[in-house]
C-alpha cells in the first residue's frame, strides 16, 4: 500500500518507519528532518529494538508526494489551518485518510473538506519524542485504536488494523471512534495539561499525593463529559481512571508532548484537547470545572505578551 505521512513529528516518523520496515511504500512529508534523512536515512531508537532505514522517500512538498492509497496524519493540531492544503494533493478517487492527531475536531475538519466517506480516525497511545534531526525515540506503548468517522465497523478499518499489526504496531479497529477519542482525552487532559503547566514529567506528578488526586478528579470530569456523548457503551469511571494511572506509573519520567511544546516555546494543542471537548461536554449538559480551569491556566501562558 502506498502511504503518505503528513506531519512527520515523533508520531508520524515512528509509525511511518514501522510501516516502511514491514514493506509498505511510505512517503514522508518532511520539514525539519529533510536534509538529515536525505543524507543518512532515519534512525529509530525503540524500547522494542533500534533500527535504521537508510532509504526514505521524503519530500518537502505534498505535491511532490502525489496520490497515495492512504494518508496518515500526524500533524500537530495547531497547524490544522494548513491541513486541507497539505492533504489535497495526495488524494486519488479512493484514497482514505486516517488522522492520528490529538483531541477532537480533526475528523470533522477533514470530512467537511473531503467527504466523510474518506475519513477514519485513530487514537495512538504512544510514548515517543523526536531526537536530533533524522532520529526518533520510542520509549513505550504504541497501540492504535482506529475506526470510521461515520460510525460502525468497516472492512477498511479491519484491514488497516491488520496492516499495523503486521508492522508490529498493536492495533484494534472499533465501531465507536468517539469513545476511543474520549478515552484518550481521559489521559491527555490531565497529563498533558498538568505537566505543561507545572513543567514536570508524569512520574513526578504522580509521586505527590495531592497532584495524583487532582489527576484522578480531572479524569472523573472527562469521563462524565464522555458518557454524556451517547457512546455505545459508557466508560467505567473508577476502573478506567485507575487503569490509566497504574499504566502511567510505569512510564519512566515520560514528558508528554504538551510539556515539550511548553519548554520549547511552541504553541500548545489547546483547541483540540481542551476547548472542543469543553464545548461538547457543555452541549451535553456537563460542566467540567477543573478541566475548564486547567484550560484557562494553560491559555493564559499562551496569550502572554
Q: Which residues are catalytic?
A: 184
Among 84, 153, 283, 293, binds its own copies (CB under 8 A): 293
Task: List Cα–Cα distances, 261 to 76, 253, 264, in angstroms.
Answer: 10, 16, 5
Rounded to a whole number of angstroms, the minimum distance from the CB of residue 266 to its own copies is 19
Which residues have C-beta within 8 Å of that of residue 8, sequence separation ≥ 6? 16, 28, 29, 30, 31, 33, 58, 74
Q: Judged by CB under 8 A, which stretch of 25-33, 49-57, 203-211, 244-252 contacts its own copies?
A: 203-211
Closest to its own copies by CB, 198 vs 231, is 198
Rounded to 5 degrees, what angle do the CA atoms 165, 170, 174 make?
90
DSSP 8-state assignment for residue 266: P
Residue pair 197/293 in contact by the 8 Å Cβ criterion: no
Segment 213 to 272, residues that bind its own copies, using CB under 8 A? 213-214, 217
Partnered with residue 146 across adjacent β-strands are: 122, 173
* Number of C-beta neighbours around residue 117 at 10 A: 10
Kindly write out the interface string for residues 182-201 of this chain, putting x where it contacts its own copies by CB under 8 A and - elsewhere: ---------------xx-x-
Q: Judged by CB under 8 A, which stretch of 48-56, 84-92, 151-159, 209-217 contacts its own copies?
A: 209-217
Instruction: Map residue 236 onto helix, strand or coil.
Output: coil
Closest to its own copies by CB, 126 vs 278, is 278
Closest to its own copies by CB, 53 vs 198, is 198
Interaction between residue 297 and its own copies (CB under 8 A): yes
- Residues at the interface with its own copies (CB under 8 A): 197-198, 200, 208, 210-211, 213-214, 217, 289-290, 293-297, 299-301, 303-304
Amino acid at each position: 500500500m502506498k502511504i503518505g505521512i503528513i506531519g512527520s513529528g515523533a508520531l508520524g516518523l515512528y509509525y511511518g518507519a514501522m510501516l516502511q520496515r514491514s514493506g509498505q511504500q511510505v512517503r514522508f512529508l518532511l520539514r525539519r528532518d529533510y536534509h538529515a534523512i536525505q543524507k543518512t536515512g532515519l534512525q529509530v531508537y525503540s524500547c522494542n529494538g533500534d533500527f535504521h532505514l537508510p532509504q526514505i522517500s521524503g519530500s518537502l512538498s505534498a505535491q511532490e508526494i502525489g496520490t497515495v492509497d492512504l494518508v496518515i496524519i500526524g500533524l500537530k493540531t495547531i497547524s490544522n489551518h494548513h491541513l486541507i492544503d497539505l492533504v489535497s494533493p495526495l488524494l486519488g478517487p479512493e484514497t482514505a485518510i486516517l488522522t492520528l492527531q490529538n483531541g477532537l475536531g480533526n475528523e470533522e475538519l477533514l470530512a467537511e473538506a473531503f467527504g466523510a466517506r474518506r475519513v477514519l480516525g485513530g487514537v495512538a497511545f504512544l510514548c515517543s519524542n523526536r531526537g536530533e534531526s533524522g532520529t526518533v525515540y520510542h520509549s513505550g506503548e504504541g497501540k492504535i485504536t482506529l475506526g470510521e468517522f461515520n460510525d460502525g465497523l468497516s472492512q477498511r478499518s479491519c484491514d488497516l488494523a491488520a496492516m499495523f499489526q503486521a508492522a508490529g504496531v498493536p492495533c484494534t479497529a472499533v465501531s465507536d471512534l468517539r469513545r476511543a477519542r474520549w478515552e484518550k482525552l481521559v489521559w491527555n487532559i490531565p497529563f498533558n495539561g498538568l505537566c505543561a503547566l507545572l513543567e514536570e514529567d508524569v512520574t513526578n506528578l504522580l509521586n505527590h499525593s495531592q497532584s495524583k488526586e487532582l489527576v484522578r478528579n480531572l479524569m472523573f470530569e472527562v469521563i462524565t463529559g464522555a458518557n454524556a456523548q451517547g457512546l455505545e457503551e459508557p466508560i467505567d469511571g473508577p476502573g478506567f481512571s485507575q487503569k490509566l494511572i497504574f499504566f502511567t506509573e510505569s512510564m519512566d519520567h515520560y514528558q508528554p508532548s504538551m510539556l515539550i511544546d511548553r519548554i520549547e516555546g511552541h504553541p500548545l494543542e489547546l483547541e483540540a484537547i481542551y476547548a472542543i471537548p469543553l464545548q461538547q461536554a457543555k452541549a451535553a449538559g456537563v460542566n467540567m470545572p477543573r478541566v475548564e480551569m486547567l484550560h484557562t491556566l494553560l491559555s493564559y501562558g499562551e496569550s502572554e505578551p
